[in-house]
Chains A and B, each alone.
Chain A
Amino acid sequence: MTPRRVCFVTDELFPFSAGGIGRILHNLVRLGLERSSGTEFHFLVPDRFGVERERVRARFGDRVQIHYAALRSGWDATLEEGRIYPPGAAFTDSIWHAESLDLMRALRHLAESGLSFDVIEFPDYRGWAFCTLQEKLLGRGFLRSLVSVRLHSTDGVLQRFEPRPPTMEQPARFDLERKALHDAELVVAHLESIADFNLSYYGFDRAWREKVVTEFPPVAEVTGKAPSSELPPGRRDLLFATKLQPFKRPDVFIRGAVTFMRAQPDYRGCAVLSCHSFDESYARRVRALVPTDLAHRFRFSGPGPDRDALLGGSILVIPSAYESCNLTAYEAAALGSLLVLNGECLAFGEGSPFRDDVNCHKYDGTVEGLAAALGRAVRGPLLPPVAWNPDLPYFLGGTRRGRRRRRQGSTRRVSVVVTNFNLAHHLPETLASVASSTHRDLEVVIVDDGSSEELDAVMLERLEREAARDGAPLKVIRNPVNRGLPGARNIGIRAATGEYVLPLDADDCISPLFLEMAVRGLERCPEYDVVVPTAGYFRTDADQGERRFCDWAVFLGEATAIGLAANRFSCATSLMRRRILERFPYDESLESYEDWDLYLRLAHAGCRFLVTNDVQFHYRARPGSMIWAVSRDRHHAHLSRVLEKVPPGAPQVRLFPLVGAAAAAYEDGFRAGEAAAASPLAPPLRYRLVDMLNRSMKQAPIVHPALKKAALLAEVVVRRQRGA
């Protein structure tokens, strides 16, 4: 019998790297090896994670293997059925998206070589599960695997607790992580409260909550370490041992300690900050909080070899605003530390094993509260250690497989709505791409939007003749007057009879597999409504035939955050359920961005999107096409109309893109393009260069300077960033 195989995708693993995620995975695997003899464990790591196979085997034994994903190089394309994936440079918003793709491809290659997993677990951080989940949901791979995501802490959640530079990368990360969490087949939370928090923070629904399993993790290996110190509380130092990072709140620690020291002159102890610090300017600001007269009682140092002794012999304060599971607290408790914890932090709240005045002292998150709690700790007795029991991990129990998906025959009709305005010259190639589709139940609805060219008239006559034949899979509608793209599309959709609709411009093409795959995806997953193809841009028909693309556009589906500043939902062509389009017709008052507007409304109405990882839509890069005609002023005008419809206050509406856009606007006086390259707030160089190249091609400039009012807010952010 083949063993059960569990694979963790990670770039942290104790004892080879720092970080809580690696610690938990280490403990989970050790627990798994102990509890189940029929389970193999695998780690998939990016190849930059420099740990040799032998060291991993030496640590865990023969039932654990490590695999390396070569990011961005050396793929054997023959194993991928000729799929074309966008190159790294195409991922202009967040490199995490590209990493997610590479990890998915690595998993595919492992599966091709015979190594498929029963469970593939991703961390929530970085949204790495995104591409693998799209593949699974579209029924293109990993069909036997349960793809799960563990709630450690997303970058998106931390964005709420600490300021971030206003770049496009922030909302892109937010959306990527949110989508990976939303799409996951199973979500693992360590505490119910963490699951609830993510639910409300991301605006998920009850169906998502039902996918969450809560299990208390093996937070520390039960080694029976004796407390290292019996030092009475009054003689202990106050210790901050997490990290000098805003959401860890070292500022509260210092202010609380100072307040406590001034109020309790008989206390002679020191305050020690022994931890990592990665941002020197922030560390300076933290140190500056210490009053001169007490400076001799504050010690700052990096973590040292005496960490265990330090933890065991001190009063450990953890003032973090947010933690999903703070391992230091458990570790310190086992070593005999006295704990003073921010009771507002979810990791120490309800459901956690921390009990106020029983095994720790909690406070309300304020400076005064902390000073009072320190008083209680110093004066009180030593407390018994925190007790916990790890739950049996889900992958060892009767694994709750992702919901069994119905595989339905892809026989549902697709209506391809081709809108044409003087583009008949390209119609043969466009229709050929539709006709070569492997999905057979097709209907083509051609809506001519009042073309004036002679060739269009000739071709339309011919098409009308064909359409008049009995049972022809073709309808031709000729608008007596040019109605504009949204109007023409709505007319086509009203004439469509298919269960699914694919809007297609008369000069673009789709790949032969797209419709079959997309229909199958939506049939398998009734909770989704849209399938978004990744787009490749071509210049000539020969290029299209040979799949030579000069640029790419990648999408995130429900991009509710970044989608306020740029359309990262989908290209104009996507497969949608017709009933959705009947509920949400294109806004005919828009001259442009009608697709962006539609997707934004769909996403905020709760519609879900699937995204293909490989190129399935071929966009003709043609001087004179509609997107080229959008000037900056018109862009503002269109976008303000679009954003009017966004429901204010929805949890998934993030202000980051607006702040980012406004900040850029503030920086360069509305000349965002040039400024992006010069601004210290701009994304790293690799993105900037690519952005500059792409900007001339892509469908939407990234900045929305109509948000002048937000510029004021941006100014504040900018000044803070510069440490002014």
Chain B
Amino acid sequence: MKRSSRGSELAGVVPPQASAHKNAAYWQSLDGGTYEVLIREREQSGALHYRQQEQFLRQFVEAEHDRRGRDLEVLEFGCGFGRHARYLAEIPGVRYHGYDFSSGMIAPLLAKPPAALMPIEERLFVGPSVTGCVKGRRFDLLFTVSVLIHNSPDQARSIVAQLAELVAPDGTLLFVENQLVPISVFENEWHEGCWLHAFADLLPDGWDLTVGRGFVDTHDVYLLRRSPGTRASLRTTSPGDAGEGVVVTRDALDALGLRKLKSWATGARLALPGRGSDGCIGSSRWEDLEERVRAQRVERRRHVLLSTLPDALADLRARNAVSKEKERKPSSSSQPAPAEPIQWNAAMDTRWAHRDSRFERVVNVFHQEWNGIRAMAGYLPGNKLAIPGERPLGPADHRRAIELVEASRPLAICFHGYSDNADALAVLLGRALGGRVPLCATWHGTPAQFHFEFELDMFSRLLERKRSGVLKSVACVKPGMSCISPQLHRETVLCMAPRVDPHSLRVREGLSGEVFIPVPNDWRKNFYTNLYGAALPRVRVVHVSAAFKLPAEPLPFKLARWSKPARTQVLSLMRACDAVMNVTLSECQPMTVLEGAAVGTPCLSGPLGLDEFEQHEFARLTRVRQVDSAAAVRWALDQVLDARDRDPRGLGEMMLDYEQLVRAEALERYGRLLHL
């Protein structure tokens, strides 16, 4: 959603652009020492707001630090002579950084930096661009105090956008600046120009705004965080409010800002002598300003209506197409019935599941369409609830799901993979069970998959739900993810193999000359490298389940194609083959490796980074380092076939050992995740 009006044209009063340049020159030439004296004098003559600002900032920074439970990286934009640097740098666990574009202003701080700011070249920056100075660093908190007011609305908007780029994913922007106004106006000539900004107009796309009023007598504070949802929200808060503040509409926010605008209008003619006549400034008559605020509101409404219309029409189009489809194809018995939206302990989710009394009263929730995750969840002990990933659940579905879960008297509930449906269900279950039962989630992606907006959105949603307490823990299946956010469970969740054949059936003598490539044909899954990697003289048949175009070079083996094989088919195919090939470019924990081990067929994969298990001899035999090299894959396959040919029993023992070790550790970790 675009919410910012462009430029200052709509701002009610056109601020003189020349002032913006004069202003920069003023601060550039000002000496920080002189300015410090000025501030101290003002304080002595009774200005309270300096002390209030410091008090507020100290409390805010400490609260942020506590909330995260780790060191807080802080950057002050426009740190000047170091009024805030001196006390913030002393707070334990806070790494303060200061930036100023004016070497004169920052000079006193550089000359006498607090001891905590050593080495200063890492902590204090001076230069024309903040982005250039901090060289790719990200901060948990970036703040300004009375800096943006000395910039024109256009400049301020671009600074805010620039600062937003420097904020860590779950970080915060904080502006202690002018009091809330509905439209930006040029306030006075102090320090060569001072503006009152309508901060809601300066917001970058995708950021939420909370306006804090009453923390400082003369200023308001503006808190910006990235929106977890698709629509940004506006909130207000004041001292003593609990939680995240009250959600307000833009109109309501503007109404709150009218008081300040009115007092500006009263003072404007006195403060800006002669401005009215030279065209630099518009009318400061209250009636005109009210009219402008009203016009801005009308325009915003018109625009909102216009921007929601295309989606509404697209929806109509989609419905129309569906009803057309129905007309054309009257439902007949030959059509497969739509899947049951709520599936409880379905056969495919329990048939291969392990049994473990500790987990009997755990509910595993997952999606019907997401095969890999469904398999993983299906092999876990406990109850199974399969929900749709795409089709939205209705109220009746929600009711049925909650009833089923409740009836199972759960000790813990774990969502495997996340979606809008899962999210809605998590919130409802949280309410229905009254917080008695811990709700957890496992995330089954890698950061590489954040390329897909859906993955990134769902991941962000999980973190948000963890932060707001809906979920008790969120763990990942991809090793090394926990460094991304402190919200994530430290331990990587381990997947376990299906419960299948007794061990005696897993050892098979002799080679069949058949290999199975179960990966779909896409870029990430690296299908063709596997295909070429299978081209060994002793491979006669390659089973594939993907559709693909044959390369010009003839393949030296026969192809057997399987279209969407069911899981039983997959397991029996694996059983019949000498090896399974799943060497992909990016992966969490491929179920094929565990499924293969469970039926006695080794499966090649890329490196998985599974802690100590990577050193297991089975892992060393089957992990391919150079995943996109057909030659490397071929070499690894050759090794595996050799091992199988030479010592089938030894290979069987090796796989059993691996699978048992992983399973034991997986159950331990799962228990810890669920707080059992």
Contact = CB atoms under 8 A, between A and B. Distances in A.
Contacts of A435: 303, 306-307, 309-310
Interface in A422-478: 424-425, 427-429, 431-432, 434-436, 438, 440-442, 444, 454-455, 458-459, 462-463, 466, 469, 471-474
Given A429-B310, A435-B309, A436-B307, A459 B302 contact: no
Contact of A440 (B5, B314, B316): B5
Contact of B302 (A409, A411, A424, A473): A473
B306 A444 contact: yes
B294 to A, nearest CB: 11
A320 interface: no
Given A411-B9, A435-B310, A454-B320, A469 B305 contact: yes
A506 to B, nearest CB: 11
Interface residues of B, dominant DSSP: helix
B572 to A, nearest CB: 40
Interface in A384-439: 409-411, 424-425, 427-429, 431-432, 434-436, 438
Contacts of A458: 316, 320
B313 A431 contact: yes
A444 B310 CA distance: 12
B312 interface: yes
B280 to A, nearest CB: 13
Given A431-B306, A434-B306, A442-B306, A425 B5 contact: no
B22 to A, nearest CB: 19
B10 A411 contact: yes
Nearest to B309: A431
Contact of A466 (B5, B307, B309, B314): B309
Interface string B1-43: 0100111011000100000000000000000000000000000
B306 A459 contact: no
B317 interface: yes
Interface string A98-129: 00000000000000000000000000000000
Contacts of A411: 9-10
Interface in A543-561: none
Nearest to B5: A440
A331 interface: no
Contacts of B291: none
Interface string B317-351: 10010000000000000000000000000000000
A462 B305 contact: no
A434 B308 CA distance: 12
B301 interface: yes
Given A440-B299, A466-B309, A516 B317 contact: no
Nearest to A443: B302
A697 B306 CA distance: 32
B617 to A, nearest CB: 48
Given A455-B320, A471-B298, A471-B301, A428 B311 contact: yes
A436 B205 CA distance: 13
A466 B305 contact: yes
Nearest to B10: A411
A442 B302 contact: yes
Nearest to A442: B306
B339 to A, nearest CB: 29
Interface residues of A, dominant DSSP: helix
Pick the most buried of B6, B309, B311, B320: most chain A CB atoms within 10 A of its CB: B309
Contacts of A438: 2, 6
Contact of B313 (A427, A441, A442, A516): A427
Interface residues of A, number: 31
A283 B295 CA distance: 73
B320 A473 contact: no
A455 B317 CA distance: 7
B137 to A, nearest CB: 23
B161 to A, nearest CB: 15
Contacts of B313: 424, 427-428, 431, 459, 462-463
A557 to B, nearest CB: 27
B8 to A, nearest CB: 8
B307 A409 contact: no
B310 A432 contact: yes
Contacts of A436: 2, 307
A474 B10 contact: no
Contacts of A474: 305-306, 309
Interface in B615-653: none
Nearest to A433: B310
A469 B312 CA distance: 15
B307 A428 contact: no
B580 to A, nearest CB: 36
Nearest to A409: B9
Contacts of B306: 431, 434-435, 442, 444, 473-474
A459 B316 contact: yes
A384 B42 CA distance: 84
Contacts of B314: 428
Nearest to A426: B317
Pick the most buried of A436, A472, A473: most chain B CB atoms within 10 A of its CB: A473
Contacts of B311: 428, 432
Contacts of A516: 6
B394 to A, nearest CB: 23
A140 B124 CA distance: 38
A425 B316 CA distance: 10
Contacts of B305: 466, 469, 472-474
A463 B310 CA distance: 10
A442 B307 CA distance: 11
Interface string B376-392: 00000000000000000
Contacts of A440: 5-6, 10, 299, 303
A410 B9 contact: yes
A436 B303 CA distance: 9
Nearest to B318: A428
A428 B316 CA distance: 10
A562 to B, nearest CB: 37
Contacts of B7: 409
Contact of A428 (B9, B299, B302, B310): B310
Given A431-B309, A434-B306, A458-B316, 17 more contacts: A409-B9, A410-B9, A411-B10, A427-B310, A435-B303, A435-B307, A438-B2, A440-B299, A442-B306, A444-B306, A454-B320, A455-B317, A455-B320, A463-B309, A466-B309, A466-B312, A472-B302
Interface of A: 409-411, 424-425, 427-429, 431-432, 434-436, 438, 440-442, 444, 454-455, 458-459, 462-463, 466, 469, 471-474, 516
30 contacts: A410-B9, A425-B317, A427-B313, A428-B310, A428-B317, A431-B306, A431-B309, A431-B310, A432-B311, A435-B306, A436-B2, A436-B307, A438-B6, A440-B5, A440-B10, A441-B299, A442-B302, A442-B303, A454-B320, A455-B317, A455-B320, A458-B320, A459-B313, A462-B316, A463-B309, A473-B302, A473-B303, A474-B305, A474-B306, A474-B309
The 9 closest A-B pairs by CB, nearest first: A409-B9, A432-B310, A473-B302, A428-B314, A428-B313, A435-B307, A435-B306, A428-B310, A431-B310
